Amino acid sequence: MKFATGKTNFLGNGCSGRASSLTFPNGKMSQLTPAATTKNCAAFTLTEVLAALLFLAIVIPTAVEALHVASLAGEVAARKGAAARVADYVLNTSLVMTNWNTGSQSGTVTENGIDYRWTLASQSWPAQSALSMVTAVVKYSAQGKDYSVTLNTLANPNTQITTGTSPP
């Protein structure tokens, strides 16, 4: 068989997209369509395909892990803010009610369906023996891991809040 093609491109492979002629042994000419000539010209080599697959095998797991880390960071940040509000509430309530020096206390606060476990403890402050340090620790979990927020404040055990009396 003898193949005769139209113009060739700069590589000389006959992939110009123009119709090509095909001469059969009986001397008849057959016209090839442009789709038939360009279909065999545009392709990736096996090396290029393997390189692209290797690139995707590296990039996709890395991108998924980055999304996981970003999701965890956002969830921890949101819950940490809520835990700080709970710790602030527990400290303020115990100071106003003057029950902070009655020993260790604990409880659970549920906010938006999430449990925040808190404990309240007091100990004498080493810098000055007349003051006590009151500590509220709030624990919470995010994506299966436990985290905590700790808030401290100083309180004077000798200060009593009295109601119904006026200063002299």
Taking only the tens place, the pLDDT of each residue in 43-67 is 889 999 999 999 999 999 999 999 9
Average pLDDT, the chain: 79
d(CA 94, CA 79) in angstroms, rounded, equals 22
Q: For residues 135 and 75, is the Cβ–Cβ distance under 8 A? A: no
Over residues 79-116, the pLDDT tens digits come to 999 999 999 999 998 888 878 877 788 999 998 889 99
pLDDT score, position 64: 95
Of 125 and 149, which is predicted with more confidence? 149
DSSP 3-state of 21: strand
Q: Can you give the C-alpha Rg of the chain in angstroms?
A: 39
pLDDT score, position 82: 94
pLDDT score, position 1: 45
Its pTM stands at 0.60
pLDDT at 33 over 60: no
**Residue (of 64, 55, 134) closest to 100 by Cα position:** 134
CATH topology of domain 47-155: Pantoate--beta-alanine Ligase; Chain: A,domain 2 (3.30.1300)
Dihedral (Cα; 87, 90, 95, 101), 10-degree rounding: -100
**Residue (of 9, 10, 2) closest to 29 by Cα position:** 2
pLDDT score, position 151: 94
DSSP 3-state of 132: strand
**β-bridge pairing 29-32 and 132-142:** unpaired
pLDDT score, position 81: 94
Q: Is 120 exposed, middle or buried (0-12, 13-18, 19+ CB in 10 A)?
A: buried
Query: What is the side-by-side strand order in the sheet with 145-155?
Result: 105-111, 114-124, 132-142, 145-155
